[in-house]
């Protein structure tokens, strides 16, 4: 196993009295794609959002256990959540560009973090758009509204926006579920490209997608992590009967 | 016995009549306004009417210049907005984003209740509490001044502004907030860089409708503005906004007289101003809807 970027240890998560995650343990390897699969409501998205503490926003939620990021627990007191979210970027299920220009969308993060220099901003925007395989399609209309882009382009713009703050980990919550097959293929190619530079965690409801893009896969069921292993192993020779039932389509 | 098709047709037409009746009323009002008021424009001249300041409808020869009344209305409305907009928008932000849900469900209806207080009660308050207070503080001969009207109208416009601005802020998709926070922005940055810019046209609608409320308000200004048809060069002096003029004088103006026509003329101007406000508000609302729906 290669270097571990984030390690989740004995993680429990509660929405008020409801326990949504039960004793989760997952190592997330550097420069690998980790896929999280499971039926709706199994806790995979909730789990993803514990990795950049987006769940903090939910009134009445509670976390127990540890998430080590470069060996530091991100739930320790005095952790700077802003700094954490800079280092752990996120792409959402619905493409959600701001109602601003393409340029301003990508420049948003760097600007928030205090970058004012115009040339430097432009450099980062172009670099990020190239990183998200979008630059060639939009280079002549960076000042146009991002809302004029197609769904697939919007999602790649959101990836570019996340890349612009130079994260180390990229969390993707069903990033292709709102897209057509062509746009989905582009996103998947992009994920393959991105793992050279980032550690990627992707939640997906599509098992084929998990099989295509990921190195490791975790299978969630009703808040439990049933099985976590190399993707080949999970899909070809799962150890747990429930995993096998799920990937062969017997339920879910 | 009628068959179901005929019955359905009858019901449909009855509903159609009710739906159109409000348009009918509006048309009726416009026709009456112009029929009664338009003659004064041809007699005095529309520019004279609007931009001269001698309002002596009962003198001989009479003066029908409404400039002081018009500017009284405008100045009082602007003053009311200077008070109501910062308060209103700040409370809207607080209610939408900072207040926990359980308090929001108490605070917002309470503020909205302000809108249900009869305007004569605001008038009483302005006349008997705020007026004497202003008189003391500024050492004035009377506390019934433009400032008094501004403060009262500002308070009266608050519920409209708070309620609609809060709706606009809440209508900004959660998506945008999540995206901003996930990029490492804090709540304040998210509010000022993403949420308020997105909600801005909705907030503009709120402010314009608040202005419409203020400029059209009659009873309160009649009671607290002092009633002197002076040019509002000093907010510590009395003014006489257009609405107060109509309300105060219509009872004494003989039907069909020039004075009567001039008061209807003022009503036409007032009507046009609020019409323009509503058109702008509607326009801003359309823009806002477009923005948040992402088209």
Structure confidence at residue A251 (pLDDT): 65
Q: Are A61 and B154 in contact (CB under 8 A)?
A: no
**Average pLDDT along chain B:** 93
Structure confidence at residue A41 (pLDDT): 84
Nearest CA distance, A234 vs chain B (angstrom): 31
Mean of pLDDT values over B53-62 = 90
Mean of pLDDT values over B32-38 = 95
**Residues of A whose CB is below 8 A from B178:** 54, 57, 92, 96
Return the residue matching tokens 């001249």: B45
3-state secondary structure of A38: coil
B180–A147 CB contact, under 8 Å: no
B294–A99 CB contact, under 8 Å: yes
- Regarding beta strands A216-221 and A33-37, do their DSSP bridges make them parallel or antiparallel, or are they unpaired? parallel
A92–B179 CB contact, under 8 Å: yes
Structure tokens belonging to residue A186: 């582009």
Confidence band (pLDDT; 50, 70, 90) for B2?
confident
Mean of pLDDT values over B202-210 = 94
Query: Whole-angstrom Cα distance, residue A204 to residue A252?
Result: 13
CATH number of the domain at B148, please: 1.10.3720.10
Among B74, B87, B52, B34, smallest CA distance to B211 is for B74
B228 burial (CB, 10 Å; 0-12 / 13-18 / 19+) is: middle
Instruction: Give backbone dihedrals phi and psi of B53, rounded to 5 degrees, phi first.
Output: -115, 15
Confidence band (pLDDT; 50, 70, 90) for B1?
low
**Residues of A whose CB is below 8 A from B294:** 99, 147
B196-216 vs B258-293: helix crossing angle, rounded to 10: 170
Structure confidence at residue A126 (pLDDT): 95
Nearest CA distance, B172 vs chain A (angstrom): 11
- Locate the chain B residue with the closest alpha carbon to A154: B294
Pick from A51, A108, A167, A168 the residue to mutate for testing the B interface (most B CBs within 10 Å).
Answer: A108
Mean of pLDDT values over A77-83 = 90
DSSP for B163-193, please give it: HHHHHHHHHS-HHHHHHHHHTT--HHHHIII
Nearest CA distance, A99 vs chain B (angstrom): 7
SS3 per residue for B218-261: CHHHHHHCECCCCCCCCCCCCECCHHHHHHHHHHHCCCCCHHHH
- Locate the chain B residue with the closest alpha carbon to A163: B183
**Residue B195 counted as domain residue:** yes
3-state helix, strand, coil in chain A (%, to 5): 40, 25, 35
The size of chain A, in residues, is 252
CA A148 to chain centre: 24
Among B29, B159, B16, smallest CA distance to B84 is for B159
Q: Please report the ipTM that was assigned to this predicted complex.
A: 0.89
Structure confidence at residue B169 (pLDDT): 94
Q: What percent of chain B lies above the pLDDT cut of 70?
A: 99
B291–A112 CB contact, under 8 Å: no
DSSP A27: E
Mean of pLDDT values over B19-28 = 92
Position A250 pLDDT exceeds 90 = no
Structure confidence at residue A1 (pLDDT): 54
* Closest partner CB to B184 (pick from A82, A100, A158): A82
Position B53 pLDDT exceeds 70 = yes
Query: Whole-angstrom Cα distance, residue B248 to residue B259?
Result: 12
DSSP A42: S
Nearest CA distance, A95 vs chain B (angstrom): 9
**Residues of B whose CB is below 8 A from A99:** 176, 197-198, 291-292, 294
Pick from B104, B180, B183, B192 the residue to mutate for testing the A interface (most A CBs within 10 Å).
Answer: B183
Which residues, 6+ apart, have CB-to-CB distance to B180 below 8 Å?
A98, A108, A112, B189, B190, B193, B194
DSSP B128: I
Position B80 pLDDT exceeds 80 = yes
A82–B197 CB contact, under 8 Å: no
**Average pLDDT along chain A:** 92
Nearest CA distance, B269 vs chain A (angstrom): 38
**Residue B20 counted as domain residue:** no
Does the reported pTM lie above 0.90? Answer: no
* Closest partner CB to A54 (pick from B182, B189, B294): B182
- Locate the chain A residue with the closest alpha carbon to B194: A98
Pick from B98, B173, B176, B184 the residue to mutate for testing the A interface (most A CBs within 10 Å).
Answer: B184
* Closest partner CB to A85 (pick from B100, B101, B184): B184
Among B74, B87, B145, B154, smallest CA distance to B122 is for B154
**Residues of B whose CB is below 8 A from A89:** 182-183
Domain hosting B105: range is 74-239+275-293
A112–B181 CB contact, under 8 Å: no
Quick: pLDDT tens for A86-129. Answer: 999 999 999 999 999 999 999 999 999 999 999 999 999 999 99
Question: Domain spans of chain A?
Answer: 4-96+172-247
Strand partners, A200: A33, A170
Structure tokens belonging to residue A241: 């009967």
Q: Are A149 and A157 in contact (CB under 8 A)?
A: yes
Structure confidence at residue B295 (pLDDT): 52
Instruction: Give backbone dihedrals phi and psi of B236, rounded to 5 degrees, phi first.
Output: -95, 5
Q: What percent of chain A lies above the pLDDT cut of 70?
A: 99
Query: What are the Cα distances from residue B265, in Å, to B32, B211, B237, B261?
Result: 11, 21, 26, 6
Query: Whole-angstrom Cα distance, residue A5 to residue A30?
Result: 5
B116 burial (CB, 10 Å; 0-12 / 13-18 / 19+) is: exposed
Query: What are the Cα distances from residue B206, in Å, to B4, B217, B276?
Result: 45, 17, 15
**Residues of A whose CB is below 8 A from B184:** 82-86, 109, 112-113, 165
Q: Are B210 and B165 in contact (CB under 8 A)?
A: no
Pick from A98, A106, A166 the residue to mutate for testing the B interface (most B CBs within 10 Å).
Answer: A98
Mean of pLDDT values over A31-58 = 92
Structure confidence at residue B55 (pLDDT): 92
Half-sphere exposure in the Cβ direction for A115 (13 Å, CA) = 19
Structure tokens belonging to residue B256: 């069909």
Quick: pLDDT tens for A138-152. Answer: 999 999 999 999 999
Instruction: Give backbone dihedrals phi and psi of A174, rounded to 5 degrees, phi first.
Output: 45, 60
- Regarding beta strands A72-73 and A61-69, do their DSSP bridges make them parallel or antiparallel, or are they unpaired? antiparallel
Peptide bond preceding A143 in cis form (omega within 30 of 0): no
Cβ-based neighbour number of residue B114 at 10 Å: 16
Cβ-based neighbour number of residue A172 at 10 Å: 28
Q: Are B145 and B239 in contact (CB under 8 A)?
A: yes
Cβ-based neighbour number of residue B234 at 10 Å: 12
Give chain A's count of helices (H) and strands (E): 10, 10
Nearest CA distance, A84 vs chain B (angstrom): 8
A98–B101 CB contact, under 8 Å: no
Structure confidence at residue B229 (pLDDT): 87
Among A131, A203, A141, smallest CA distance to A165 is for A131
Pick from A87, A112, A125 the residue to mutate for testing the B interface (most B CBs within 10 Å).
Answer: A112
The count of domains in chain B is 1
Pick from A99, A113, A128 the residue to mutate for testing the B interface (most B CBs within 10 Å).
Answer: A99
DSSP A101: B
Structure confidence at residue A19 (pLDDT): 92
**Residues of B whose CB is below 8 A from A59:** 100-101
- Locate the chain B residue with the closest alpha carbon to A111: B185
**Residues of B whose CB is below 8 A from A54:** 178, 181-182
**Residue B128 counted as domain residue:** yes
The CATH superfamily of A4-96+172-247 is: P-loop containing nucleotide triphosphate hydrolases (3.40.50.300)
**Residues of B whose CB is below 8 A from A85:** 181-184
Among A84, A93, A94, smallest CA distance to A172 is for A93
Structure tokens belonging to residue B141: 């001969």
B186–A82 CB contact, under 8 Å: yes
């Amino acid at each position: 196993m290669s270097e571990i970027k984030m390690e989740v240890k004995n993680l429990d998560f509660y929405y008020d009295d409801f326990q949504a995650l039960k004793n989760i343990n997952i190592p997330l390897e550097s420069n690998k794609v980790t896929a999280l699969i499971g039926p709706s409501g199994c806790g995979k998205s909730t789990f993803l959002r514990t990795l950049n503490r987006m769940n903090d926003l939910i009134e009445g939620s509670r976390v127990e256990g540890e998430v080590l990021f470069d060996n530091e627990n991100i739930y320790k007191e005095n952790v700077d959540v802003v700094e954490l979210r800079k280092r752990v970027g996120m792409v959402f299920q619905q493409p959600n560009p701001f109602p601003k220009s393409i340029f301003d969308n990508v420049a948003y993060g760097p600007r928030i973090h205090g970058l004012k220099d115009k040339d430097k901003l432009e450099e980062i925007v172009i670099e990020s758009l190239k990183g998200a395989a979008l630059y060639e399609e939009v280079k002549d209309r960076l000042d146009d509204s991002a809302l004029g882009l197609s769904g697939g382009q919007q999602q790649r713009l959101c990836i570019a926006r996340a890349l612009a703050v130079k994260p180390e980990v990229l969390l993707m919550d069903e990033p292709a579920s709102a897209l057509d097959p062509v746009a989905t293929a582009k996103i998947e190619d992009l994920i393959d490209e991105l793992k050279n530079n980032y550690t990627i965690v992707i939640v997906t409801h599509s098992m084929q997608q998990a099989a295509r893009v990921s190195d490791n896969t975790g299978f969630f069921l009703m808040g439990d992590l049933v099985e976590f292993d190399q993707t080949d192993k999970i899909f070809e020779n799962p150890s747990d009967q429930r995993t096998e039932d799920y990937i062969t389509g017997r339920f879910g | 016995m009628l068959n179901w098709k005929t019955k359905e047709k009858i019901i449909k037409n009855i509903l159609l009549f009710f739906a159109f009746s409000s348009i009918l009323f509006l048309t009726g009002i416009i026709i009456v306004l112009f029929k009664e008021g338009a003659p004064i424009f041809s007699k005095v001249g529309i520019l004279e009417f609007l931009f001269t300041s001698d309002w002596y409808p009962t003198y001989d020869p009479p003066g029908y210049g409404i400039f002081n009344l018009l500017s009284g209305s405008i100045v009082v409305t602007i003053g009311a907005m200077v008070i109501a907009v910062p308060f209103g928008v700040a409370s809207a932000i607080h209610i939408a984003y900072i207040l926990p849900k359980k308090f929001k469900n108490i605070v917002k209806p309470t503020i909205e209740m302000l809108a249900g207080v009869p305007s004569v009660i605001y008038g009483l308050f302005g006349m008997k509490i705020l007026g004497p207070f202003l008189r003391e503080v500024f050492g004035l001969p009377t506390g019934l001044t433009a400032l008094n009207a501004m403060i009262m109208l500002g308070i009266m416009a608050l519920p409209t502004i708070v309620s609609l601005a809060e709706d606009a802020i809440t209508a900004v998709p959660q998506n945008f907030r999540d995206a901003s926070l996930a990029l490492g922005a804090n709540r304040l940055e998210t509010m000022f860089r993403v949420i308020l810019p997105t909600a801005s046209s909705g907030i503009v609608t709120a402010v314009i409708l608040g202005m419409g409320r203020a400029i059209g308000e009659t009873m309160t200004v009649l009671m607290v503005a002092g009633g002197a048809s002076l040019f509002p060069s000093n907010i510590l002096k009395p003014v006489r906004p257009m609405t107060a003029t109509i309300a105060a004088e219509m009872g004494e103006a003989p039907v069909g007289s020039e004075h009567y026509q001039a008061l209807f003329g003022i009503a036409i101007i007032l009507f046009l101003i609020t019409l323009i406000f509503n058109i702008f508000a509607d326009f801003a609302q359309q823009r806002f809807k477009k923005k948040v729906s992402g088209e």
